[in-house]
Amino acid sequence: MTKSIPGIHHITAIAGEPQRNLEFYTGLLGLRLVKLTVNFDDPETYHLYYGDGAGRPGTILTFFPWPGAPKGRTGTGQLTVIAFSVAEGALGYWMERVRAHGIDFEGPSTRFGEQVLAFRDPDGLRLELVSHAGGEGHAIRGFHGVTLSEQGHERTAALLTGTLGFRFTGQAGNRLRYQTAVGGPGSFVDILDLPEDSPGRVAAGTVHHVAWRAADAAEQQGWREEIARQGLNVTPVVDRKYFRSIYFREPGGVLFEIATDPPGFTVDEPLEELGTHLLLPPWLEPRRAEIEQKLPPLRLPQLASA
């Protein structure tokens, strides 16, 4: 196995109304709905996957949308900010775009030499766009990184640097930055040291977990053995159809996952049709009629705009 996590695989959050969530992420943010399926553990709930046109690891933001769900509370022990990467010079376009949709924003401000624009989605989930040199156009290019809010940073930092292969790259006040050895978009973790803050509560508008990439099942198994050696409880491998997963909580309480890159989202539908049909795993297919009846109606984006 490699000695360093290469970057973010996906991030999963909780939303309220599924249609509102879909329109925000495919409409305003311009992401593609790359998989329309259900929560395998709660099949009367959608699981919506957004990403780039090919559904590549490092671009995937997923949601469990629960209509009428109570609003969560951001706090310590949570991933509190999701940052996307955009091309240098694109933030002016995004400022006008979010303003035109009546969304309040903060910035652009400078952090670690980068320009950052911050705003929230309809459920209050905090998002950032971070400009990077290279690339063209205005489209979101995948993740830049995440922010973890912690009551103390030391044990989380030790896991990142001592086990997962991150390196410390800088500090600004109570914000400490870490980066994978590979570097580039999707490789950053900021820890906010917030000893006086209260723990968060996971519900609508909060993040459920962040998943890190593993190249294959063998590499994932190596990580599982290493994490267990560190004294952390880690789950057996779970089949999520589009990837295989293991889960554990880092010392500050944030739920981490390590997910395999394969088999990917084209395992059950061709690339050009991603996100256009409700897909169910084989063990739920016999319940399709029942599940479809209980899921709320959802108006999908046109394929041409995906």
Whether residue 60 lies inside any domain: the answer is yes
Name the pairing type of β-strands 207-214 and 255-260. parallel
Whether residue 245 lies inside any domain: the answer is yes
**Residue linked to tokens 């989605």:** 121
How many structural domains compose the chain?
A: 1
DSSP at 69: P
pLDDT of residue 209: 98
Q: Considering the entire predicted model, what is its pTM?
A: 0.96
* Both structure tokens of 56: 């590549």
Whether residue 1 lies inside any domain: the answer is no
CA atoms 105, 110, 115, 121: torsion sign: negative
pLDDT in tens, 63-98: 999 999 999 999 999 999 999 999 999 999 999 999
**Residue linked to tokens 């962040």:** 210
pLDDT of residue 2: 54
- Residues 129, 86: contact at Cβ < 8 Å? yes
pLDDT in tens, 209-265: 999 999 999 999 999 999 999 999 999 999 999 999 999 999 999 999 999 999 999
Whether residue 40 lies inside any domain: the answer is yes
My answer on whether omega of the bond before 108 falls inside 30° of 0, hence cis, is: yes
**Residue linked to tokens 């539908």:** 269
Percentage, residues of the chain above pLDDT 90: 93
Helices (H), the chain: 18-22, 91-100, 154-162, 217-229, 288-294
Whether residue 2 lies inside any domain: the answer is no
Domain extent at residue 230? 8-305
Report angle CA 86, 106, 189 to the nearest 5 degrees.
Answer: 55
My answer on whether omega of the bond before 70 falls inside 30° of 0, hence cis, is: no
146: nearest Cα among 133, 124, 130: 130
10 Å Cβ neighbour count for 136?
9
CATH classification at residue 289 = 3.10.180.10
Whether residue 3 lies inside any domain: the answer is no
Whether residue 128 lies inside any domain: the answer is yes
- Residues 11, 207: contact at Cβ < 8 Å? yes
